[in-house]
Amino acid sequence: MEAIGVLMTYPTSSYLEQQLSTRFNLFRLWNISHKHQFFKDNAASIQAVVPSTQLGSGADRELIDSLPALEIVSSFSVGLDKVDLEYCKEKGIRVTNTPDVLTDDVADLAIGLILATLRRICESDRYVRGGMWMNNDFKLTVKFSGKRVGILGLGRIGTAIAKRAESFNCSISYHSRSQKPESNYKYFHSVVDLASNCEILVVACALTEETRHIINREVIDALGPKGVLINIGRGPHIDEPELVSALVEGRLAGAGLDVFEHEPQVPEELFGLDNVVMVPHVGSNTVETEKAMADLVVRNLEAHFFKKPLLTPVV
């Protein structure tokens, strides 16, 4: 299959790069300011794209239109908000993603962010490193066990977070597009109702036009000054300026954020706040899961080019 051209649009994983380059003719487009010349020279040889939705351009209409031989988009992510699924469908381009293999890691990180935010773990680390222990004035923190946890989006990842939170004796409620008959958790018909009835709200849904800015001022105020917001979904789920002012004004107790609206940019006001824990979109970034995701990307491509059923087809 060395003759098949595969384009990576961002250097997300050197393991993935190595796996692709031993099987395919791998093209890398790291510097998008060179894209016109790059497409002029190589577009006709590229039959597959491997985008990442963490950073980089994804697979939008412009990229798809630049690649006349494109047959498949095999995304190194479960979230496909940066892939134009409708356009792929229209053009008969297959799309795959990497579900399941990252569920545990993302759910683990959500719990990590809850604990780090409530127990002020990062702030206490800075306290010790700053030589302040002798002052003996570190503030009391907030207990996690037994809290009311609301989950926005009870898919694979939301369910895995709920199970983990249950083991902390938390009560679980959720909102999603529709009620899940298989779930015993309390369902709320609106996000505002969910936020009014929980102490920790975790965003774990997919980003679509309906869920963009679903966390707005009304939801934040419903969560209230003792509430904590956790986002392991996508940055644009939250109206970021509203979140910033709620944190600055004390209308929200804290936030734990893996994702941001304009990654890798982070609102500057957040840097000065101790009630926010921020990590750089690393929900799935473990050694084990990077390998599992990369293997799935490669196996989907092999399946496609050997004319076998795709492992995780989306389109």
- In the complex, the smallest distance separating the C-beta of residue 312 from ligand DGY, rounded to whole angstroms, is 12
Q: Residue 105 is encoded by which pair of tokens?
A: 């890691």
DSSP 58: -
Q: Does 78 bind ligand DGY (CB under 6 A)?
A: yes
Cα–Cα–Cα angle for 41, 46, 47, rounded to 5 degrees: 160
Active site annotation includes 23: no
Identity of the residue, 5 or 51, whose beta carbon is nearer to ligand DGY in the bound complex: 51
Which one is catalytic: 240, 281, 290, 304? 281
Ranges within 96-135 binding ligand DGY (CB under 6 A) = 102
Please, what is the minimum distance in Å from the beta carbon of residue 78 to ligand DGY?
4
Stretch that binds ligand DGY, among 73-81, 156-164, 190-198, 244-252 (CB under 6 A): 73-81
Using alpha carbons only, what angle is made at residue 71 by residues 66 and 73, rounded to the nearest 5 degrees? 80
Query: Is residue 211 part of the contact set for ligand DGY (CB under 6 A)?
Result: no
Q: Give me the phi and psi of 233, to 5 degrees please.
A: -90, -100
* Cα–Cα nearest to 64, from 91, 31, 25: 91
Strand partners, 257: 231, 278
Rounded Cα distance, 301 and 100, in Å: 18
- Does position 83 interact with ligand DGY (CB under 6 A)? The reply is no
Residue with tokens 């796996």: 19
Q: How many residues bind ligand DGY (CB under 6 A)?
A: 8
Q: Helix, strand, or coil here: 258? A: coil
Q: Of the ranges 65-73, 77-85, 88-96, 242-250, which one interacts with ligand DGY (CB under 6 A)?
A: 77-85
Of 248 and 292, nearer to ligand DGY (C-beta) is: 292
Cα 223 to Cα 150: distance, rounded to the nearest angstrom: 10
Nearer to ligand DGY by Cβ, of 82 and 147: the residue is 82
As given in the structure block, the two tokens for residue 84 are 């134009």
Place of tokens 């059923």: 309
Nearest-angstrom CA–CA distance, 277 and 257: 6
Query: Is there binding between residue 312 and ligand DGY (CB under 6 A)?
Result: no
148-152 sheet: strands from edge to edge? 186-187, 171-175, 148-152, 200-203, 228-231, 254-257, 276-278
Q: How far is the CB of 142 from ligand DGY (least distance, A)?
A: 27
What would the x/- binding string for ligand DGY be over residues 277 to 296, using CB under 6 A? ------xx------------
- The one catalytic residue in 234, 237, 290, 304 is 234
13, 74, 77, 117: which one binds ligand DGY (CB under 6 A): 77
Residue from the set 13, 19, 47, 54 that interacts with ligand DGY by CB under 6 A: 54
Q: Give the binding range for ligand DGY (CB under 6 A) out of 72-80, 190-198, 237-245, 297-305.
A: 72-80
Q: Which of 17, 263, 269, 302 is catalytic?
A: 263
Tokens 């993603």 belong to residue: 97
Residue 9 in the binding site for ligand DGY (CB under 6 A): no
Contact criterion met (CB below 8 Å) for 152 and 158: yes
Is 5 or 283 the residue whose CB approaches ligand DGY more closely? 283
Catalytic residue list contains 234: yes
33: burial class by Cβ within 10 Å (0-12, 13-18, 19+)?
Answer: exposed
DSSP 215-236: B-HHHHHHH-TT-EEEE-S-GG
Residue 227 CB, nearest approach to ligand DGY (Å): 24
Q: Please, which residue, 227 or 236, has the CB nearer to ligand DGY?
A: 236
263 is catalytic: yes
Binding residues for ligand DGY, rule: CB under 6 A, are 53-54, 77-79, 102, 283-284
- Which residues are known to be catalytic? 234, 263, 281
